[in-house]
Structure 1
């Protein structure tokens, strides 16, 4: 399983789609947006357990966190059953989020990839998207990487997501990749 971690509008989803096209074998892509879309109201209902605060901060209820653990458990089961998965994630709590994923996925081999982009650039990208909360991308640009240990990193500030995906594919151990 490849875990792409980066803030909102950093290019994770585009990199994931590009990796699906260039890595050998069939890879499934799931991400935090997939999970949120499955929640009541697409994450916008109070029942979803998500609170979008001023300045782009996000808070979660205990019920939401329990459901998130179930989501990760399901993805881990898919990977253990042989599915090749790219997880497009935003670790809002940095290294604590990384540890939550590690503990849930257990023996699944995880390749950690940091997707970086400077705050001014992600803020500009965010402003062009209607599905984003203003300030979220700038706030997350650096905080999601706090304490997270990566196997590989890319920076989409001045490079295309396709170029970043090609770099990642060339750095991954192709011997370990499915054919």
Structure 2
């Protein structure tokens, strides 16, 4: 791999049910070295009652929107500080994210990782396809996939993008891995 595209952290950002978690797992199998995968679902699962408690600070709106409390945001900062420390210590990370605040959230996350070299990958999926996937999964809040399919990309600046609407997860993972292996110079 070229040093230009040899990140310590790969951030996959996309809406719910876009295929980020599956791409993360596929990348772990095809990228050289050992990569750890973490994401917003890992963090939420660690919250009281897996995020389904009022104490977790997450409000799932009827239309699929999500509201986060100040307490949630403070704990989220602690989570990312820990992940940043892991990357700084030498761990390679793949972060499976749903950055609800788009570009502002990207800057917030980037600032928490300081000088760690991060690559940003947009994982897109047509809203109707994401909604169909969501309907097949009992652990999803109805309407969230459609709500997030486009909004999580607002203001984001990506190094690379994939679209899972009509491409397999494996093909998308290989696209990312292939792009990382390119020599830009």
Task: Tell me, yes or no, whether TM beats 0.5.
Answer: yes
Q: CA deviation at 1:173?
A: 3.8
Whole-angstrom CA distance in 2 between matches of 1:131 and 1:100: 28
**1:1-179 superposed matches below 5 A:** 1-173=9-181
Whole-angstrom CA distance in 1 between matches of 2:66 and 2:37: 23
Whole-angstrom CA distance in 2 between matches of 1:58 and 1:64: 12
TM-score by length of 2: 0.93
Q: Which runs of 5+ in 1 are unaligned?
A: none
Q: CA deviation at 1:14?
A: 0.3
Whole-angstrom CA distance in 1 between matches of 2:172 and 2:181: 16
Whole-angstrom CA distance in 2 between matches of 1:90 and 1:75: 16
Per-residue CA shift, 1:76-132, capped at 9, x if unaligned?
Answer: 000000000000000011011101101100101010000000001000000000000
Per-residue CA shift, 1:49-85, capped at 9, x if unaligned?
Answer: 0000111000011010000000000000000000000
Q: CA deviation at 1:174?
A: 6.8
Whole-angstrom CA distance in 1 between matches of 2:101 and 2:161: 18
SS of match in other structure, 1:172: helix
SS of match in other structure, 2:63: helix
Whole-angstrom CA distance in 2 between matches of 1:43 and 1:88: 17
Whole-angstrom CA distance in 1 between matches of 2:15 and 2:112: 22
Q: Which runs of 5+ in 2 are unaligned?
A: 1-8
TM-score by length of 1: 0.96
Whole-angstrom CA distance in 2 between matches of 1:53 and 1:138: 13
